[in-house]
């Protein structure tokens, strides 16, 4: 496979999933140093992909979706792609890639449509595996001759995650403090079992105001659930609805720690190598062994009991405070 010149990594789902896929780009660049790497993703996750120093080009699936099938196929044929890796299985993308005649079409054998559309099938199951999601993603590189058992530490380096996006003066000024800067991200857009908004607000007041500057983040829609109950303290700042994804990445990278359930901002914190305090429950397939963030400063706090989505994680605030102080 030494002749590969243009490779597409296809992952059109959410922030955390994309972060855990970025190491593939670094591995492929090492294996095929002259190749051009293209990442096919969602428009929403484009700022995440753009932080990967190994990605040469980004395609937005929302743009391609606007075209009719024949235009999709003809355009893809013109791109002279040698291989496409379907990290997130998507029937319509697999179908287009086959019709366009891409030489190596790689996907998991556990999707029926891949049996028809892919010619390089990899047999593994995610749900029952003991491997981390980022490690499972590397299995899809086996048809390209990559068969190494990667550690999470090594995968963190392969992600090549960097940001130089500027912050507004107003936001940047908030970071001009000698206190520890802690981001609390209460919601998860439904991607995880959450700890509960009130627990986050209690945590904000539990942390010593003389030592910590607290920033509450979330989308404008999420803020409707908690904005009215944010404690009125000088060291607690509501940034919900004020940061787009580019700005959130840049802001988080300049803080000291972030606390969240298993959601996108937790993965941003991890891969930015700030202290990522992840709130999980020890239950497959949503446990931290599968989904904890990559990075050099990760601390996991597990729920004391297994709960369903209708209940918050059973985690004592004092345990979260201790976790924050581990890397403070």
Same domain for 130 and 44?
A: yes
Same domain for 190 and 139?
A: no
- Neighbouring CB atoms inside 10 A of 176's CB total 7
Q: What local confidence, expressed as pLDDT, does residue 2 receive?
A: 58
- pLDDT, tens only, 233-292: 999 999 999 999 999 999 999 999 999 999 999 999 999 999 999 999 999 999 999 999
The CATH number for 321's domain is 3.40.50.2000
Q: What local confidence, expressed as pLDDT, does residue 153 receive?
A: 97
Q: What is the mean pLDDT of the chain?
A: 96
DSSP state of 234: T
| Domain end among 139, 158, 177 | 158
Closest among 186, 298, 21, 297 to 289, alpha carbons compared? 298
Instruction: Tell whether 33 is covered by a domain.
Output: yes
C-alpha 262/C-alpha 268 separation (Å) is 11
Q: What local confidence, expressed as pLDDT, does residue 47 receive?
A: 98
Closest among 300, 296, 328 to 313, alpha carbons compared? 300
Instruction: Tell whether 164 is covered by a domain.
Output: no
- pLDDT, tens only, 31-46: 999 999 999 999 999 9
Q: What is the pLDDT averaged over residues 143-167?
A: 96
Show the domain range for 144: 6-158
pTM of the model: 0.96
Same domain for 134 and 175?
A: no
Q: What is the pLDDT averaged over residues 186-210?
A: 95
| Domain end among 129, 158, 187 | 158
Q: Which residues pair with 167 in a beta bridge?
A: none
H/E segment holding residue 226: helix 220-226
Same domain for 205 and 261?
A: yes
Same domain for 52 and 148?
A: yes
Number of folded domains in the chain? 2
The token duo for 57 is 């080009």
Closest among 122, 78, 110, 121 to 96, alpha carbons compared? 78
Is residue 1 scored above 60 in pLDDT? no
Scanning 69-196, the segments in alpha helix (DSSP H) are 69-78, 91-99, 112-117, 133-138, 152-158, 169-174
Is residue 328 scored above 60 in pLDDT? no
Same domain for 174 and 272?
A: yes
Same domain for 70 and 125?
A: yes
Cis bond before residue 41 (omega within 30° of 0): no
Same domain for 55 and 107?
A: yes
Q: Which residues pair with 298 in a beta bridge?
A: 276
Same domain for 202 and 269?
A: yes
C-alpha 325/C-alpha 211 separation (Å) is 11
Same domain for 313 and 173?
A: yes
Same domain for 12 and 106?
A: yes
- Tell me if 52 sits within 8 A of 185, measured CB to CB: no
Is residue 191 scored above 90 in pLDDT? no
- pLDDT, tens only, 295-313: 999 999 999 999 987 899 9
| Domain end among 137, 158, 179 | 158
Assign 202 a pLDDT band (cuts: 50, 70, 90): very high
């Amino acid at each position: 496979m030494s002749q590969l010149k243009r490779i597409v990594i296809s992952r059109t789902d959410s922030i955390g999933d994309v972060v855990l896929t970025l190491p593939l780009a670094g591995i492929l660049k090492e294996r095929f140093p002259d190749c051009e790497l293209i990442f096919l993703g969602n428009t929403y996750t484009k700022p995440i992909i753009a932080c990967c120093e190994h990605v040469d080009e980004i395609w937005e699936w929302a743009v391609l979706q606007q075209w009719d099938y024949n235009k999709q196929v003809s355009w893809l044929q013109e791109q002279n792609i040698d291989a496409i890796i379907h990290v997130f299985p998507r029937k319509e993308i697999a179908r287009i890639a086959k019709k366009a005649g891409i030489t190596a079409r790689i996907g998991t054998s556990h999707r029926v449509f891949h049996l028809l559309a892919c010619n390089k099938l990899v047999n593994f199951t995610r749900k029952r595996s003991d491997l981390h999601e980022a490690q499972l993603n590397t299995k899809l590189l086996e048809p390209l001759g990559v068969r190494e058992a990667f550690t999470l530490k090594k995968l963190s380096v392969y992600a090549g995650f960097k940001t130089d996006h500027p912050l507004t003066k107003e936001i940047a000024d908030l970071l001009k403090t000698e206190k520890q800067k802690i981001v609390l991200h209460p919601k998860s857009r439904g991607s995880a079992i959450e700890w509960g908004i009130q627990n986050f607000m209690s945590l904000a007041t539990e942390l010593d105001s003389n030592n910590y500057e607290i920033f509450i983040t979330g989308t404008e829609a999420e803020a409707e659930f908690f904005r009215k109950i944010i404690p009125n303290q000088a060291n607690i700042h509501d940034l919900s609805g004020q940061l787009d994804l580019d700005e959130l990445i840049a802001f988080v990278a300049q803080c000291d720690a972030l606390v969240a359930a298993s959601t996108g901002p937790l993965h941003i914190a991890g891969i930015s190598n700030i202290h990522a305090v992840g709130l999980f429950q020890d239950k497959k397939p949503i446990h931290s062994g599968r989904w904890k963030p990559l990075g050099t400063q990760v601390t996991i706090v597990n729920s004391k009991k297994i709960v369903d989505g209708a209940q918050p994680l059973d985690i004592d605030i004092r345990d979260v405070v201790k976790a924050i102080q581990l890397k403070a």
